Amino acid sequence: MVIKPLQMNRLKNQINIKIKPPLNAVGQLTGYNKPQFHSKIFQIPVNLTDGAFEMEDPCPQKRLFLKLSIGSQNYFGSVRHLTLTNLSNLRDLGGYQSNYGIVKWGYLYRSDALSDLNSLETQFLKTLQINTVIDLRSAPEIRRNPDVSVGEENHEEIDPKAFIAAQASKIPNPKNYDERRVRELEKISQSPGGEKKLIQMQNQMIIQMHDMVASKSSQEAYGRFLQMVVTASGPVLFHCQGGKDRTGWGTALILGLLGVDKDVIMRDYLLTKKYNQHRNAKRLATYRKYTNNELVLKYLCSLQLANSSYLDSALDTLINISGSFEKYAEDKLNFTSNDLKKLRKKYLI
């Protein structure tokens, strides 16, 4: 069966769907609670206008996957961002068009840390039937804020040794951590050459992303990461603290090896800016309690935001080292051509 992408949005108990190219047509819409086509919830006729259709949400509290059939054409899709109070950045990587197919929905999830989930959120994540959780944080981060189990069979901790990324998303501990951090930065700004140093420090994430591609320790970590993704027997969720850079590079590797274009990979990376906006604004408001030094605040903001220059740094480094995702994975991550075939067979339709 040939599947084309379907765009789906859920808002205020309404579901909106769109397909491209837009067309006026009558079709059949089938809803499933799992990404496989054998858990049907409903089936209704639909009349598309300019490729769009709106309906009342029949199960607003559940994960929903939709298949639209128009003649011999089939479209499939779901919601990318899964909104939970204590998990800002949980996203499904499904639906992205690659050069070899479409990324399957419901099998690859990226997120921020699973440390603050309440019982309802934990139960919801269990319904996703996640088989493998990969925690990309450092050991101290994990000790301070360990993951809540979401029913996974395999839980792996893989540290790519990304110190700046760990600092960027660090949760205050002890309570006066933010204040002490601001005071230290103020001292730097007031020292000889301090303003220049703070400006230079705003490029730390660019350097960090370069190192995540080039350093041996990071290559070993992401090699293990890819092996876990390719051998998992069910859906995979991977995360760091904020789900931005360490998770962002893991996502870029997977999507790049699946054949997704660079501009799509970048758009996915920048979605973190949107979904972590409330979280970042809260942190900035805390920093403003302790300082009005704009250089200090600008530096702290630079660590929290998903900036295109950060991922560009990683992508440019990969190209300079190996020329392509495939060659880089084989040469530096010990990810063979056979592994690549398994990855594409497993996660593309």
| pLDDT tens string 225-240 | 999 999 999 999 999 9
Same domain, 72 and 200: no
Same domain, 293 and 253: yes
Which tokens belong to 230?
Answer: 């390719």
| Lowest-confidence pick of 20-24, 227-231, 235-239, 341-345 | 20-24
CB contact at 8 A, 111 and 215: no
Same domain, 68 and 102: no
**216 belongs to a structural domain:** yes
Same domain, 30 and 113: no
Cα–Cα distance between 22 and 178 in angstroms, integer?
A: 50
CATH number at residue 167: 3.90.190.10
Domain that holds residue 40: 3-78
Q: Give the mean pLDDT of 205-219.
A: 93
**85 belongs to a structural domain:** no
Could you please report the per-residue DSSP string of 243-309? SSSHHHHHHHHHHHHHTB-HHHHHHHHHHHHHHTHHHHHHHHHHHHTT---HHHHHHHHHHHS--HH
Same domain, 64 and 169: no
| pLDDT tens string 127-171 | 999 999 999 999 999 998 999 999 999 999 999 987 655 554 455
Same domain, 49 and 116: no
Q: What separation in angstroms does the CA of 197 have from each of 27, 168, 185, 257, 338?
A: 61, 17, 10, 38, 47
Amino acid present at 205: M
| Lowest-confidence pick of 63-67, 112-116, 185-189 | 185-189
Summary count for the chain: helices (H), strands (E): 14, 15
User: How far does the chain reach from its first CA to its final CA, in angstroms?
Assistant: 9
Same domain, 53 and 98: no
Which tokens belong to 19?
Answer: 């397909």
Same domain, 38 and 107: no
Q: Please state the pTM of the whole predicted model.
A: 0.88
Same domain, 131 and 247: yes
Same domain, 108 and 72: no
What contacts 130, CB < 8 A, 6 or more positions away? 109, 150, 151, 152, 234, 235, 236, 237
310 phi, psi to nearest 5 deg: -70, -50
Structural domain count of the chain: 2
